[in-house]
Amino acid sequence: MKPKISCIMPCRDRDDMVAETIQSLIDQTFSDWELIVVDDHSAPEDKTQSVISDFGDDRIFYIKLEDKYGKGISAARNFGNMLARGNFVAIIDSDDINYPDRLALTVEALENGADVVYGDIDLWDPETGDITKRDKNIPTDFDLELFKAGDFIPNMTVAYTKKLAVDFPYNTFFRIAEDYDFLTRVAEFGAKFKFISQPLVKARMHAGSITAKKDFEFNYGQVVKYNRGWVNERPEIFGR
């Protein structure tokens, strides 16, 4: 019997964090889910597969992303989405904690007609245990014009229909902002967005997170805006 919702978790060298994330799914009030962990070229010494096996939960699947299927966050998301058996797909970041009612609230919104669901997040410092609220307000109703100005959707809270996952695969050009590119495409297509006005995820603040790194050679978000025709300034990557 296929699950209601498929949770897709790309990961790379996260054996020190992934257990807490998986436990937060096991602790969900909604239990009709599967978790597909896509290992995106972890180092040989990484023990993520062993960590997953220790749970002994037949709803959890571990798959290595082979070179022939690509490499990077977008390729890993696409691979997991194609394997998803549920009618809905939830993004799970391997370093974050999902609040117990995230999936229940998400599935309810999707079953009531939403194509894309997202919520707020709390910021969590694992060193001190402190949890703080974000200083960024999310519009109660999705506004494409505001979204053109800047991405206000916390990607680790996003879920969408399997149909969108199939019809709008992630662009593997993007190392970051793959979510902004994906969401702008489905928004312009006319997908219905639903905001759940409470934190769904406790986001771990640490130096190893992708978005915390500053070594990206250009602004990927600007590439999205340029490709959509929202800005005239051509990103540096394209030259003159």
In order, the DSSP letters of 105-141 are HHHHHHHTT-SEEEEEEEEE-TTT--EEE-S-PPPSS
pLDDT given for residue 207 in this prediction: 60
pLDDT of residue 240: 47
Looking at residue 238, its pLDDT comes to: 54
Q: How far apart are CA 28 and CA 88, in angstroms?
A: 16
Domains in the chain, please, with CATH? 5-208 (3.90.550.10)
Instruction: Give the per-residue pLDDT at 211.
Output: 46
Please list the ranges in the chain whose pLDDT falls under 50: 210-214, 216, 240
Spatial separation of the C-alpha atoms in residues 19 and 24, rounded to whole Å: 9
Nearest CA to 38 among 91, 88, 87, 2?
A: 91
| pLDDT score, position 213 | 46
